[in-house]
A = this chain, B = another copy of it.
Amino acid sequence: MSKEETYINDLIDFLSIPSISTDAAYEAEVRKGAEWLASDLRNSRMENVEIMETDGHPVVYADWLHQPDKPVFLVYGHYDVQPADSVELWTSAPFHPEIRDGKLFARGATDDKGQVLIHVKAIASLMEEDGELPVNIKLCLEGEEEIASPSLVPFVKEHRDKLACDAVLISDTPMIDEETPAIVTGLRGALAFEMEVSTAATDLHSGAYGGAVPNAAHHLVKVLDSFHDESGRVNVEGFYEGVPEVTDELREEMARIPFHEEALKGELGLTSLYGEEGYTPLEQIGLRPTLEFNGITSGYQGAGVKTVIPKVATAKVSCRLTGEQDPSHVFEKIREHVEATAPAGASVTLDKQIEAKAVTVDAGNEYIQKAGKAYEQFYKNRTLYPKEGGSIPIVEVFRNELGAEPVLMGFGLQSENMHAPDEHFHLSNFKRGIQTVKAYYKSFQED
């Protein structure tokens, strides 16, 4: 068996463990995932391999620190996976990995077990070839990413010294396409909250009272609609404080990222895109903050007609933030706006649920530049440096707590059905990923 075939068999073995973090019924399987990783890291001759307990699922730690003049890398990833329902929508069973057409189908294949194993196997391969690593490496692999990493923030704060490093290497973001690597240089921050509008002690009859009493659904709609102006801009005073200007330079950088509007519309089933005036779609997603409604609920939801005046209406709202926007400040500005906007008769409460600052990485730093060059040895196209619309709150925590540069060096593809049935990972990217990571570490040897 070739070394590559062994690595793929190991990945198949790893993917067979249903390490679903959100479901308590799978707690033992999540731990099995941690144990599998710890064992594989020991086989790779990593040192100080440890399953470290948290209030939730454990963190797998390992290190190899024998190059005192070289940088220290912290590899972060996660071994937990999303649930696989609805199982009947899968072509092959989600925890019985199957290779079809050069792709490995299983829950967790691209998110994130396949990408975690790129790092473990790159280390194993270097060790096997050279008996040592060209740089210092620590691994911090968590089991709660799919449930928003509740234990990792305290873990990082508690183990600041143990995790100390120069750069944090993360493979959990997509490339542009199969031949175009990408290092994400921006992640939006996040603020999520729930808003509840209440008006009356009970739902009221719309015939007996309609016209003279407040309607919670109506008042919620008024408040929600006040959040944007006609140009799609967020209409909350102070919301844009800290948002960087979109410079010509940034615009040129963004314009290099391929974007196919018609293809996207077709794929998502849209008749039209929709966003803030004056920005391209990629700028809207990568550089501009948003305020979105994720869910609204009020009154009668069943079949047919029930002519009630709802007493309560709720909305789940989330913002994506950019630059130096402070989530707490934005939340306060939204609260002031709501208080000024809510109509007479409405009592409004806001409950903050998530907050994270945006992350911006200087694409010119050494860790990024060398990663870009490492990719280009194995992929046809030049590496691109996109700004992503999503948020990975832990990246901000690593930077703040450890003072380390994030290197978001992904090997997945948007098309690989992350969080959906028939999740898969291109084996060509698994193989080239291992080669790329090895070349990346070696590029620091030459300094």
Complex Cα gap A215–B388 (Å): 19
Q: Which residues of B contact A270 (CB under 8 A)?
A: 199-200, 213-214, 345
Q: Is the CB of B275 within 8 A of A212?
A: yes
Q: Is the CB of A305 within 8 A of B318?
A: yes
Q: Which residues of B contact A389 (CB under 8 A)?
A: 207-211
Q: State how many angstroms separate the Cβ of A403 from the closest Cβ of chain B.
A: 25
Flag whether A369 is at the interface (Cβ < 8 A).
Answer: no
Stretch at the interface among A9-17, A118-126, A294-302, A374-382: A294-302
Q: Which residues of B contact A224 (CB under 8 A)?
A: 218, 221, 225
Flag whether A344 is at the interface (Cβ < 8 A).
Answer: yes
Q: Is the CB of B307 within 8 A of A211?
A: no
Complex Cα gap A389–B353 (Å): 41
Flag whether A52 is at the interface (Cβ < 8 A).
Answer: no
Q: Is the CB of B353 within 8 A of A305?
A: yes
Please, which residue of chain B has its CB at the minimum distance from the CB of A266? B201
Q: Mark A351-370, 1 if CB is under 8 A from B, else 0.
A: 00110000000000000000
Q: Which of A204, A222, A294, A310 lies at the interface centre, i.e. has the most chain B CB atoms within 10 A of its CB?
A: A294
Q: Is the CB of A307 within 8 A of B192?
A: yes
Q: Is the CB of B218 within 8 A of A390?
A: no
Given A228-B218, A295-B300, A296-B221, are A272 and B305 also a contact pair (CB < 8 Å)? no
Instruction: Point out the residue from B148, B295, B320 that lies within 8 Å of A207, measured CB to CB.
Output: B320
Q: Mark A275-319, 1 if CB is under 8 A from B, else 0.
A: 110000110110011101111111111001111111101011010
Complex Cα gap A188–B307 (Å): 13
Instruction: Point out the residue from B215, B269, B288 that lies within 8 Å of A292, measured CB to CB.
Output: B215
Q: State how many angstroms separate the Cβ of A446 from the closest Cβ of chain B.
A: 37
Complex Cα gap A192–B207 (Å): 12
Flag whether A343 is at the interface (Cβ < 8 A).
Answer: yes
Q: Which residues of B contact A24 (CB under 8 A)?
A: none
Q: State how many angstroms separate the Cβ of A264 from the closest Cβ of chain B.
A: 8
Q: Which of A212, A215, A347 lies at the interface centre, i.e. has the most chain B CB atoms within 10 A of its CB?
A: A212
Q: How many copies does the complex hold?
A: 2
Q: Is the CB of A208 within 8 A of B390?
A: yes
Please, which residue of chain B has its CB at the minimum distance from the CB of A315? B217
Binding site for B on A (CB under 8 A): 148, 188, 190, 192, 199-202, 204-215, 217-218, 220-222, 224-225, 228, 268-276, 281-282, 284-285, 288-290, 292-301, 304-311, 313, 315-316, 318, 320, 343-345, 347, 353-354, 388-391, 414, 419
Q: Is the CB of B218 within 8 A of A293?
A: yes
Q: Is the CB of B299 within 8 A of A305?
A: no
Please, which residue of chain B has its CB at the minimum distance from the CB of A259? B212
Please, which residue of chain B has its CB at the minimum distance from the CB of A204? B268
Q: Is the CB of A304 within 8 A of B353?
A: yes
Q: State how many angstroms separate the Cβ of A276 from the closest Cβ of chain B.
A: 7
Q: Which residues of B contact A213 (CB under 8 A)?
A: 268, 270, 273-275
Complex Cα gap A273–B343 (Å): 11
Q: Is the CB of B212 within 8 A of A345?
A: no
Q: Is the CB of B296 within 8 A of A298?
A: yes
Q: Is the CB of B212 within 8 A of A284?
A: yes
Q: Which residues of B contact A272 (CB under 8 A)?
A: 214, 344-345
Please, which residue of chain B has its CB at the minimum distance from the CB of A293? B217
